[in-house]
Amino acid sequence: MVRRQARHRRRLPAAPPSDPSRTFPHYHIANQWQRIKKAGQVDIPDGMVVYGMRHFFASNCLTHGIPITDVAEWMGHKTIEITFRIYRHLMPGSISKAAKILNLDLAA
């Protein structure tokens, strides 16, 4: 994840601190995670890691109909195929849904 984030930062121009798209260093996120866990501020199950939240985020987006192109970009995947390969099980029936939409538009 650290290497991916470093590549991401090299590809994009530096964002000002007020920019919500600005990336955080991995150590910052890991330190905050440990602090919250130790303080007991949130009930975090044993074995739950920060990286798991990344998968939860992508899964949640796709199951709620957010386009895979957007999710792929947010996840920093080079291609949509990467996102599709990892998360395709969350999109059952997407081809039949698309066909229905296209049929409705063509019939109108």
Cα separation, 19 vs 63, in Å, equals 28
Whose CA is closest to 71, among 94, 87, 95? 87
pTM: 0.55
Tokens found for residue 3: 């290497």
pLDDT, residue 16, reads 66
Residues 80-97 have pLDDT tens digits of 999 988 888 877 676 677
Helix, strand, coil % over all residues of the chain, rounded to 5:
65, 0, 35
Report yes or no: 71 and 40 within 8 Å, Cβ to Cβ.
Answer: no
Pairwise pLDDT comparison (67 vs 28), residue with the higher score: 67
pLDDT digits (tens, 9 = 90+) for 22-51: 666 667 777 888 888 888 878 878 888 878
Closest by CA to 75, choosing from 98, 67, 10, is 67
59 or 15, greater pLDDT: 59
